[in-house]
Structure 1
């Protein structure tokens, strides 16, 4: 029977495309991973990878072997992780990805209460606004909005992902009233540029009657971050379209107020993403249930709704 460690080295190398990527995931050296995979190939009597200086490529035998063992590997890992959970003690390293500002503002403040309830879990939290490869990069869960849902990944809704128009009271006092979307064309716009694509996205405004109008603002400046756009708008520099979670603190403080409060952008949902398994690790289940519970208790869903 092949060793569990060698098979795990093979699977992680196949997923990451290199021994170095597998080594980072397994906390080993690339040399140790390569040696383990080589021993596995010798015992099986087949070559699993075509090796180059830049990347590993699976052979036909390697592809077949990966299909046979990858699902079983996850099941075994989850079963081991759940041994302690069966006694009510979820444990292990919890690797989670979340947006930088959203995570720091709404998830990190929950960390103390989470660890008090689950002291044997060790958080390994990554803050990045880009979508991660949940399975390939070994994440237990991710929090975000607008993500594509790959095969084998499920989503649990946390709150709506609405965007609203905001400006400072001072800026609005210096201009003609903005009563309809057509009035925005004469206003200075603080536009958001996607940090991933570099493009400025076009948006459709929706009102409570589900009517739609294109959002047209006179470009004054561009930002790649919603919180930065909020700060710029708070200085009276123009109108920006920002996500509700970013806008809420500025609305609460009075630094910003909504423009056209009957209109908003529906950008889907902010959700919890995790791999779909029959036997979900106890640490992952604990995190999912805790975050959903806290968002409900704090009323963040209604608070982040623009309607």
Structure 2
């Protein structure tokens, strides 16, 4: 029977594309991972990787072996994690990815209560606005919007991902009234560039009656962050289209007001993502249930709705 550790070294190397990445995830040295994989290849009598100075590439035999062992490895790991729970309590390191501003504003305030409820779970939370490879990078869960949903990953809706137009009251007072989407063409726009693609996205406005119109603003500046766009609009620099979670604090303080409050952009949902397993680790189940509960108690789905 092959060593569980050798098989895990192989799987993590395949996922990460290198012994170095597998070593980082397993808290080993690259040399130790490479040696373990080499021993596995010797025992199996086949080469699992084509090695180069830059990257590992699976051989045909390696691809077949990976397909056969990946799901079983996850099931065994989850079973071990659940069995190791102290007195039935969830234990282990919980690796979660979330957007920087959204995470700091709406998830971090829940950390204290989460740790009090689950003292044997050690949070390892990553703040990044880029989509992560949930399974390949070893995350237990992720929170965000617009994620592609690969096979084996499920999404639980937390709130709608609505975007709204905002500006300072002073800026609007100095211009002709904005009464319809067509009036936006003569207004200065604070545009947001996608940090992933580098492009400024085109948007369609949707009315409460589900009528759609194109959004057209006169470009004044381009930023790559919704919170920065809120700050710029609060200073009277123009109209910005921003996500509701970013806009809410500025709207609550009166720094900005909504422009065309009957119109918004529907950008899907902000969801909680995690790998779908028959035997979900206790730490992941605890986190999923806790976040869903807290967002429901706080009424964030209603608070972030633009309708």
TM-score by length of 2: 0.99
Match of 1:134 in 2: 134
Match of 1:35 in 2: 35
Match of 1:242 in 2: 242
Match of 2:306 in 1: 306
Match of 1:111 in 2: 111
Matches within 5 A, 1:128-277: 128-277=128-277
Match of 1:53 in 2: 53
- 1:267 & 1:101 partners in 2: Cα distance? 18
Structure 2 residue ranges without an equivalent (≥5) = none
Structure 1 residue ranges without an equivalent (≥5) = none
- More displaced, 261-270 or 13-22? 13-22
- 2:51 & 2:88 partners in 1: Cα distance? 45
Per-residue CA deviations over 1:72-104 (Å, capped at 9, x if unaligned) read 000000001111448431000000000000000
Match of 1:72 in 2: 72
Per-residue CA deviations over 1:215-267 (Å, capped at 9, x if unaligned) read 00000000100000000000000000000000000000000000000000000
- 1:229 & 1:218 partners in 2: Cα distance? 15
Matches within 5 A, 1:15-34: 15-34=15-34
- 2:243 & 2:87 partners in 1: Cα distance? 41
Match of 1:11 in 2: 11
Offset at residue 120 of structure 1 (A) = 0.3
- 1:109 & 1:142 partners in 2: Cα distance? 17
Per-residue CA deviations over 1:199-227 (Å, capped at 9, x if unaligned) read 10000000010000000000000010000
RMSD: 0.8
- 1:48 & 1:245 partners in 2: Cα distance? 46
- More displaced, 264-273 or 86-95? 86-95
Matches within 5 A, 1:288-307: 288-307=288-307
Match of 1:62 in 2: 62
- 2:206 & 2:69 partners in 1: Cα distance? 48
- 1:129 & 1:218 partners in 2: Cα distance? 27
Offset at residue 63 of structure 1 (A) = 1.2
Matches within 5 A, 1:85-100: 85=85, 87-100=87-100
Per-residue CA deviations over 1:89-131 (Å, capped at 9, x if unaligned) read 1000000000000000000110000000000000111111111
